[in-house]
């Protein structure tokens, strides 16, 4: 599981260099490869415990079973008191501070992995607003059990493991949402730009329906298009248009795999009046046509494992 987490397109990976916040992307080497990975901090690689502020385009869940120090999310510091369960949303800035003896597992996945349970996107948003959970008693036991089962299913890749992984992750997310939050070391008030960006992402996390346009989102949030663009870019490293395209692709994938709607009907559901244009858009974003994606069950390729978020090394 060595490699980098870079999706096709712009972005960087590795330690800070020059201007801009490092943005790590979950590498999907083939169209429709499983957008999920799990491993220990050691097997996932050095970037899983990066000591410098950085962001991801994917969700990250960390299950800390050993170590001391702090985990910092959006300038809020949380002391490690293992076992802990932490949630980092796409676009959130985080890093590890003065950490020693870090042990546990890291779970990485994109919104595309939540096809069976799209409402989990909003549950995850709620969890990442709390970010850090203390575990004890029954909670520590069932968390350790679920993480171990996720790791085992991922490594063995037995028949039907994809649906099992999605089900186990769903249980982990729902149960975690019931737990009380950890008290942060510092808790600065959220700035207006950060609040606008979070509200924008929430609008896109609706489990059904076509994602709204940038202008519609700005009107609903009571801000100008330019202010929305600046706030979202500053908070997530991506433009509102990029995130809307991502949301449209996610919803199209869900409808292709979980319904019997025609491609024309799905195009309309995700905001495209022209099915042919939708097909070109879908192929450009995923590398596969809607028909091929549906016929392949969303998993055309056999190698399900993704590279880790190990530090990027330039070719010699």
pLDDT reported for residue 165: 94
Q: How far apart are CA 104 and CA 109, in angstroms?
A: 17
18 falls within a domain: no
In whole angstroms, what is the distance from residue 316 CA to residue 57 CA?
A: 27
Whether residue 129 sits in one domain with residue 235: no
Q: Tell whether 70 and 212 lie within a shared domain.
A: no
314 upstream amide cis, omega within 30 of 0: no
pLDDT < 70 regions, the chain: 1-33, 181-194, 205-210, 297-316
For residue 295, is it within any domain?
Answer: no
- Whether 48 and 28 have beta carbons less than 8 Å apart is answered as no
Full-model pTM: 0.65
Question: The domain containing residue 140 runs over which residues?
Answer: 23-177
- For the stretch 38-69, pLDDT in tens is 999 988 888 888 888 888 888 999 999 999 99
- The pLDDT of residue 25 is 63
Q: Does residue 218 lie within any of the structural domains?
A: yes
Give the 3-state secondary structure percentages of the chain, helix then strand then coil, rounded to 5: 45, 15, 40
Tally of structural domains, the chain: 2
- Are residue 251 and residue 281 in the same domain, yes or no? yes
Residue 131 in any domain: the answer is: yes
Is 300 domain-assigned?
no
User: Is 9 part of a structural domain of the chain?
Assistant: no
- Asked whether the beta carbons of 104 and 66 are under 8 A apart, the reply is yes
Same domain, 47 and 171: yes
Residues 82 and 170 occupy one common structural domain: yes
- pLDDT for 205: 66
**Following CA atoms 137, 138, 143, 146 in sequence, which dihedral angle do they give, to the nearest 10 degrees?**
150
Are 159 and 27 within one domain?
Answer: yes
**Whether residue 159 is found in the same domain as residue 238:** no
The Cα–Cα gap between 216 and 221 comes to: 9
Give the angle subtended at the CA of 116 by the CAs of 110 and 118, to the nearest 5°.
Answer: 60
Alpha carbon distance 183, 34 (integer Å):
35
Same domain (yes/no): 154, 216: no
- Assess whether 167 and 35 both reside in one domain: yes
At which of 177, 209, 240 does a domain end? 177
Contacts of 304 (CB under 8 A, 6+ apart): 33, 34, 154, 157, 161, 162
Question: Is 198 contained in some domain?
Answer: yes
Residues 28 and 109 grouped into a single domain: yes
């Amino acid at each position: 599981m060595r490699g980098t987490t870079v999706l096709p397109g712009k972005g960087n990976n590795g330690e800070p260099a020059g201007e801009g916040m490092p943005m790590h992307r979950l590498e999907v080497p083939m169209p429709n490869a499983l957008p999920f990975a799990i491993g220990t901090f050691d097997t996932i690689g050095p970037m899983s415990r990066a000591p410098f502020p950085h962001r991801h385009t994917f969700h990250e869940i960390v299950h800390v079973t050993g170590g001391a120090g702090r985990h910092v999310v959006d300038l809020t510091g949380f002391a490690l008191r293992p076992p802990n369960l932490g949630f980092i949303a796409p676009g959130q800035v985080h890093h590890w501070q003065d950490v020693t003896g870090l042990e546990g597992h890291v779970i990485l996945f994109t919104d595309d992995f939540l096809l069976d349970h799209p409402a989990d996107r909003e549950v995850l948003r709620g969890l990442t607003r709390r970010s850090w959970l203390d575990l004890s008693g029954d909670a520590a036991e069932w968390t350790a059990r679920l993480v171990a089962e996720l790791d085992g299913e991922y490594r063995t890749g037995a028949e039907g493991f994809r649906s099992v992984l999605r089900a186990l992750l769903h249980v982990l997310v729902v149960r975690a949402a019931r737990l009380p939050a950890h008290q942060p070391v510092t808790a600065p008030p959220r700035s207006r730009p950060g609040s606008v960006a979070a509200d924008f992402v929430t609008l896109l996390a609706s489990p059904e329906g076509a994602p709204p346009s940038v202008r519609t989102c700005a009107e609903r949030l009571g801000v100008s298009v330019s202010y929305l663009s600046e706030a979202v870019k500053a908070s997530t490293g991506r433009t509102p248009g990029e995130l809307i395209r991502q949301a449209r692709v996610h919803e199209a994938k869900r409808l292709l795999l979980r319904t019997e709607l025609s491609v024309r009907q799905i195009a309309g559901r995700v905001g495209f009046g022209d099915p042919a244009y939708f097909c070109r858009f879908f192929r450009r974003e995923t590398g596969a046509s809607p028909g091929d994606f549906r016929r392949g069950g969303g998993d055309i390729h056999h190698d399900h494992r993704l590279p880790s978020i190990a530090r990027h090394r330039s070719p010699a």
